Amino acid sequence: MTAVARLPEELRFILPSSPYQMWVDGELQDYLHIPYDGTRVEIIDGEIVVSPAPRFRHNGVIGLIADKLAIRRHVDPAYRWRYIAGNGLNFVAEENGYIPDLMILDAEIWQEAWHLNPLHLVTDQAEMVVEVTSPSTAERDRPPTGKPASKGKWCGYARAEIPYYLLIDLDPAVSRITLYSIPDQSSSAYLHEESWGLGETIILPDPIGIEIPTDGWKPWD
């Protein structure tokens, strides 16, 4: 499977509950008989979106970012930021459910979630979300072009006012890493961006405050 599957509208009428509520309850993937092999099931703009499991390099990039956060925490025990990978993010107001590649959380929020063990986090718990594009996900991860200006994850993250969105676009035609900030709920857009090419060092500003070398990072095969 190399492309996102958007399940038909008719499916809504045969599900025992709304797709969003089944996603929230952790029942949707089982009901649709979708294997737990890394395949992701999300609710994006009201649609059920099934994406194939990411490849090694995709997950490796996320691991390298996580390593930098872990090193910073080791060097400075007072460092306040933690991370979680592959966890669901519940957009309650819009009845959407995304699975970002990585989320960065305040240590107190992380610790509370550790004790409560929720199935999903909610948007006001995330300080930064990170997405690495793949051929099946790039269009919805990027700012919208040639489609309704409010559609896609970039818009959803901005509407939810998540402070930072780091988009690592490994499309060979793009090969660019962009940090979006200053989310504007009314326009469903981020108002500021800073970007780097592959091979350059990503500088995440305070309060995250880490640098991430990208030597050896490669675009899609």
The torsion region of residue 214 among left (phi > 0), alpha (psi -120 to 50) and beta comes to: alpha
- 74 and 39 in a single domain? The answer is no
For 133-161, b where at least 16 C-beta lie within 10 A, e where not — what string?
bbebbbbbbbbbeeeeeebbbbbbbbbbe
CB 82 within 8 A of CB 102: no
Do 23 and 37 reside in the same domain of the chain? Answer: yes
Q: Is the domain of 93 the same as that of 135?
A: yes
List Cα–Cα distances, 125 to 54, 66, 90, 192, in angstroms.
Answer: 25, 18, 10, 21
- The pLDDT, as a whole number, for residue 147 is 64
User: Are both 102 and 10 inside the same structural domain?
Assistant: no
Instruction: Give the range of the structural domain holding residue 80, as residue numbers without chain letter.
Output: 56-213
Give yes or no: residues 22 and 37 share one domain. Answer: yes
Please check whether residues 74 and 123 belong to one and the same domain: yes
Residue 184 sits in a domain whose CATH number is 3.90.1570.10
Say yes or no: 68 and 125 in one domain.
Answer: yes
Residues 110 and 10 in one domain: no
Residues 29 and 98 in one domain: no
Answer with the one of 14, 30, 51 that is the final residue of a domain: 51
Domain identity same for 68 and 84: yes
Q: Which of 159, 154, 202, 155 is nearest to 177 (CA)?
A: 202
Cα-based angle 131, 92, 142 (whole degrees, multiple of 5): 25
Query: Could you tell me if residue 218 is inside a domain?
Result: no
Task: Walk along the chain (221 residues) and give the pLDDT tens digit of each residue.
Answer: 344 556 666 666 678 889 999 999 999 999 999 999 999 999 999 899 999 999 999 999 999 999 999 999 999 999 999 999 999 999 999 999 999 999 999 999 999 999 999 999 999 999 999 999 999 899 999 999 876 678 999 999 999 999 999 999 999 999 999 999 999 999 999 999 999 999 999 999 999 999 999 999 999 98
In a domain, residue 96? The reply is: yes
Residues 96 and 188 in one domain: yes
What total of structural domains would you count in the chain?
Answer: 2
Q: How far apart are CA 203 and CA 162, in angstroms?
A: 18
Question: Any residues with CB less than 8 A from the CB of 48 and at least 6 apart, and which?
Answer: 6, 7, 11, 19, 28, 32, 41, 42
Q: What are the tokens at 160?
A: 């939810």
94 shares its domain with 19: no
**Comparing C-alpha atoms, which of 143, 142, 110, 150 is closest to residue 126?**
110
